[in-house]
Amino acid sequence: MVTTAIILAGGLGTRLRETVPNLPKPMVPIHNRPFLEHQMDYWIEQGITQFILSVGYLKDLIINHFGNSYRGVSIEYAEETSPLGTGGGLLFAAKNLNETFLVLNGDTFIEVDLDSLYEFHLKINSNWTFVLFRTNEFDRYMVMSVSPKGEILALNSHDYISSGLANGGVYLIEPAALNSLGVNTLENVSLENQLLPNFISNGGKLFGQECMGKFIDIGLPEDYFKASKILPN
């Protein structure tokens, strides 16, 4: 059973700043509540009992809003003193974890059954499992080549016709996967452009499971406005 989730909530959100200024991206309002609350609500219902929030840009707004708990669930903070990127933020937040944990992008939401994802993760003996969604926005998302058994064969594939499988911003990770990278936890590194290629070059295998649930990415203003039609009040 997976009970701990890291949320990568430290990004600058530059593309959304004109629409929602002076807020970190995970705190933009949806139905008068921060997007981050909607995320946490969903995963609490799935059995998460501890959140670790990787925070940086305007972090005090997140810390002051949530404090040390939300709906009775513990919250810890991995506070960046300088930008660490998605990869560095993940490494810093996960440095003390010793069991399988969930990682969530702070600006996306996708409907996933955590128990089914964990069952898949265990069945294939994976150290790093992605949730994948199908898209035709090839210029926006990293489309991957995936074998019939779920192994990710290429991170940035051009093996698609009308659609492809892309990173949904949800991962199950074993601590051993990060320990094998040999990267300092205070380095500024990208998850997709540095950590994942590094993991593969060190002999690691990535796996992914396609999800048919609703997917939301609030990174662009037009998608932010769509989110209120998908997320509940």
**Could you report the per-residue pLDDT of 33-89, keeping only the tens digit for each?**
999 999 999 999 999 999 999 999 899 999 999 999 999 999 999 999 888 989 999
Is the pLDDT at 135 greater than 70? The verdict is yes
User: Is domain 4-230 classified as CATH 3.40.50.10140?
Assistant: no
Domain residue spans of the chain: 4-230
More confident residue, 172 or 141: 172
Confidence class of residue 109 from pLDDT cuts 50, 70 and 90? very high
Q: Is the pTM of this model over 0.85?
A: yes
Compute the distance between CA of residue 78 and CA of residue 94 in angstroms, rounded to an integer.
9
The pLDDT of residue 16 is 65
Virtual CA dihedral for 12, 16, 17, 18, nearest 10 degrees? 160
pLDDT for res 35: 95
Residue 101 pLDDT class (50, 70, 90 cuts): very high
Q: How confident is the model at residue 30 (pLDDT cuts 50, 70, 90)?
A: very high
